[in-house]
Structure 1
Amino acid sequence: MTHHDVPAFHVSSESFAEGQAVPPAQRSGRMRAGGQDESPQLSWSGAPAETRGYAVTMFDPDAPGRGGFWHWAVLDIPADVTSLPAGAGAEGGKLLPAGALQLKNDGGFHGYVGAAPPPGHGPHRYVVTVHALDVAASGLDERTSPASLESKLSRHTLGRATLTGIYERH
């Protein structure tokens, strides 16, 4: 993934800290990693003043196969929203702000799918990114693939905040 240089801002989570293990709640139950497929709590601050909206993604660059694995992608989060509760990525998105849209993850459904690296594959990084955008509505729809999101959003990205959790299955 190539990013053009944009300012960084701050994101934190009550679910896990930067560089720490992804806890069981944020691991996958569907993919037999003993988890609950609960998206992490997120709070962000310091985004550029001209931000009109946000997108949030979670990506595993260490997944086998080409192009990594997209666990979560949410678009069209209003500019006045600066946090998401744990579990906001549930299918149906009842805890998401009005107007927000979840794309289909690489597990095949619209919502958050938890960390589930192949056993014995070594540690995987789960990179949560909050994208500050210069548009309130991305103009994309739920058929957009998360893999194409980065390129579609890049010309609208004003700033980016990242938080990385680690998980290894033995």
Structure 2
Amino acid sequence: MLVVALSWTVSQASAAPPPASVPASAPAPAAHTAAVVLTYDASGAAEFVDAVDKGAAVWNGSVENVRLKPAASGDRASIEILADDGWPRARTTSLGNGTIWMGRQAVDEGHDTVRIAAHELGHILGLPDMKPGPCSSLMSGASAGVECTNAQPDAGERAAVEDNFASAGASPAVYEPRLYQDRPVAA
């Protein structure tokens, strides 16, 4: 059993010298903007719940302007995540809102579930597909092949998401709802 003892001391305050004046030409301190928090509901994601949580953790470890968190029980989530037998896809309704389907067809063909989750969450965060593309690009999706397990966004993808959520609570000027279907590129 670990016991932690805290002690408090009270001391008499002494007058501190007034702060030095700041020259008018000095840059103002940068204001820290709170991250936009998006909640997701993976209760319909079946066997993919762990992959979804890991995909969200990828984004949380990669960007600062947005945070993905599981929705509290009974709360309406920004993102609904479901499992089905088709190809993975995401339907965005606005930046940070939409539905993701974790498709078993891609998994059955050998695609990595965490990469799928992080990729589909990338669509919800405002990123388009970048196909065909290399494995180093998360948004290259299935075009990188089944051997690709990279679930990390590249520098450009991270920067785009940071830009999309640079003003906490602000909506982008133009954002068209759309359906992203992640099917392999035909040869």
Verify same fold: TM over 0.5.
no
Which structure has the bigger radius of gyration?
Answer: 2
TM-score range, shorter chain: under 0.3
More helix by share: 2
User: Looking at both structures, which has the greater relative contact order when contacts are Cα pairs under 8 Å and sequence separation is at least 6?
Assistant: 1
More strand by share: 1
